[in-house]
Structure 1
Amino acid sequence: MSFDARVMLSRRLRFLPHRAFAIMHHALFQGEISTLRKPRTYAQLLAKKNLGEQSELVHITADKYRVREHVADRIGAEHLIPLVQVVERVEDLDLEAPQQPYVVKGTHGCDMTILVPHPAAADHAKIRSAVARWLGTDFFRHGWRERPYEGLTPRAVVEEMIGDGTGAPNDYKFFVFHGEPAMVVVDQNRFVAHTSTMLHPDWVPFRIAGRFAQAEALPEKPACYDRMLEIARTFGKDFTFARIDLYDVDGHVYFGEITHNPGGGLVRLRPRAFDRALGNLWRHGTPIPEKFIDRASATR
């Protein structure tokens, strides 16, 4: 069954009770049946975590608007992408004001992003239509039942577009377990020819695969990489697991988001043994075995 077919089938199963939906959703995308009562792998642990009640801090940090105050308190407002506007009603959205490239985002879920590199040529009606749809969507109920988004106020924000103003900059996603980064995923050309390169924190590739192709060449390590690791630890220490997304623009670190259920359970890591290795890291703190780390490639 194709990925798109699994997505369509999972959407049709959203009438099921929460646990039943989680089990079926996991089976569709991970290719295994699990009750999720005794999770062992990373994917199982993520699904089990998503079934439970979430702390107030999880809800705050999952909200792409409310998290801004948390970020400013923890690492300083200079790491926030400049905010142009926040609205709860599409009627209040002022698309005439931004003169520079900007980004429109929904704050209460994922896959709600519009890049506007040329404001003068922007299709305002199309943007407003998308934002109206976002604001009318309960992402918990109509998405993948992701508990961190449950009860969030639907909002949209307009932010300045960081980087060169023509597209999304590289996105550095830190998978943090018990406060320590264990994997860095570098997303490049996200809205054009998306690649997703999975690296050990030592900046060497893992011998694994996910949903998207990896870049042909090893991405260049950001000049501010050590600061990125420090920030990932600062936010990650509050949770058993979280993904901390950051950007590097001319040596300055910008905060992206904190994600508590990466990929919504849709991404299957291969080989399966690596999924188990991440599970052992999560449960016991066991280091990822060297057999999954391609250190030789870093010297080629």
Structure 2
Amino acid sequence: MKKIKFFLRDLIRFILGPKNYSFIRFLVTHKYIPSFEYPSSFSEKIIYRKFNVEPETLSKLVDKFTVRNYVKEKVGEQYLIPLLLVKDHIFSEDFHNLPSEFVIKTSNGGGGENVKLITNKEKTDLTALSNQFNQYLKINVGKAVDEHFYDIETPQVIIEKLMRHKDGSFPSDYKLHIFNQSDDSKVIIQVDEDRFGNHKRSLFDLNKNKLEFDIQPKYDSVRSDYNWPDSFDEMIEVAKKLSEDFKYVRVDLYNIDGRIYFGELTFCHGSGWEPLSSKDADFLLGSYWEEFN
């Protein structure tokens, strides 16, 4: 079903051209007429960035391997998830010296099918896994979604330590939308809880108050008694430091029993196709983003 969906998407993009396709999809997704020439809303500015920013300026920052150097320089390598293996082509025998559980991903592209949690290597078909990820390396992820900065660096297969809390549970994703303004910064904290199970999502302010709007409101809300980590302030500090070179970026972090780890930098959240729960909220976040006006 997904292959048919992507085939139809690519066919329509080919017939209409990327910009006309984006205009029509924007109407369907966000339900208002966009201005891509003079963007004002959050979603409009994401689309504008895709077509008007030089891809080379962001390529090393969106690649999951090369961005590690940026993180190391900005905040220190203690915030990096331990790296187990990096290969430009993976074979089943490469897994022999790895632990039983790990995360495998490709360095290009956002989260999705090209990220997989392996919790028991012994029960995994490693040949099939190798073939699957070698195929991902051949896909120009950026071309398909008009985020061409993903297609510049040489894609690689990355294997990282699978991070868990002491009780064995997987951590929440903290996606911090940071808008750096001329005199201050605005921070919207997106919490994605139980992402690989009953995925829940909510937005919060810096005081941990749940906001009255959501991004991609198809998910259930994070529970009202959500247990915030003790090192919350450090997490905000790290995210701000990583974002300081940009007017807007989403900084993804994990918090493992109070220890903070970097996930990725995202410059085009949801590629512009994750609607907010109201048009007013879309324009509110757009007003925080002091760029492209």
**By the TM > 0.5 criterion, same fold?**
yes
TM-score scaled to structure 1, two decimals? Answer: 0.86
**CA contact 1:26–1:47 (8 Å) conserved in 2:** no
SS in 1 for 2:171: coil
Q: Which residue of 1 aligns with 2:234?
A: 227
Look up the match of 1:123: 125
Structure 1 residue 116 displacement after superposition: 0.7
1:123-161 residue CA offsets vs partner (Å, 9 max, x unmatched): 21331132022111011123x111331323221100000
| Aligned ranges 1:154-193 → 2 under 5 Å | 154-164=155-165, 168-178=170-180, 180-193=185-198
Structure 1 unaligned segments of length 5 or more: list them: 285-300
| Higher deviation after alignment, 173-182 or 241-250 | 173-182
1:174 Cα deviation after fit: 0.3
Which residue in 1 is equivalent to 2:72? 72
Q: What amino acid maps onto 2:137 in structure 1?
A: L
Residue in structure 2 matched with residue 195 of structure 1 by the alignment: 200
Show the counterpart of 1:19. 19
The question of whether the paired residues in 1 share the 8 Å contact of 2:213 and 2:276 is answered with yes
Q: Does the CA contact (< 8 Å) of 2:178 and 2:187 recur in 1?
A: yes
- 1:160-182 deviations in whole A, cap 9, x for unaligned? 00114966411100001117342
Whether the 8 Å contact between 2:165 and 2:257 is mirrored in structure 1 is no
Q: Is the 8 A contact 1:236 1:244 kept in 2?
A: yes
Equivalent pair of 1:102/1:160 in contact (CA under 8 Å)? yes
| Residue aligning to 2:115 | 113
Give me the TM-score of the superposition, normalised by structure 2. 0.88
Which range moved further: 162-171 or 30-39? Answer: 162-171
Alignment of 1:1-300 (within 5 A): 10-15=9-14, 16-54=16-54, 56-91=56-91, 94-110=94-110, 111=112, 112-142=114-144, 144-164=145-165, 168-178=170-180, 180-211=185-216, 212-283=219-290
Contact 1:29 1:265 in 2 (8 A): no
SS in 1 for 2:19: helix
Q: Residues of 2 paired with 1:183 and 1:6: CA distance?
A: 32
Across the two proteins, how many residue pairs are aligned to each other?
281
Structure 2: give runs of 5+ residues left out of the alignment.
Answer: none
| Worse-matched range after superposition: 84-93 or 233-242 | 84-93
**Superposition CA RMSD, Å:** 2.4
Distance in 2 separating the partners of 1:217 and 1:274: 21
Cα distance change of structure 1 residues 103 and 217 upon mapping to structure 2, 3 Å threshold = same
Q: Which range is displaced more, 169-178 or 203-212? A: 203-212
CA distance in 2, matches of 1:55, 1:238: 16
Worse overlay, 111-120 or 52-61: 52-61
Contact 2:178 2:188 in 1 (8 A): yes
Identity across matched positions, percent = 23
Give the drift of 1:115.
0.1
Alpha-carbon distance in 2 for matches of 1:204, 1:6: 37
The whole-number CA distance in structure 2 between the counterparts of 1:92 and 1:108 is 21
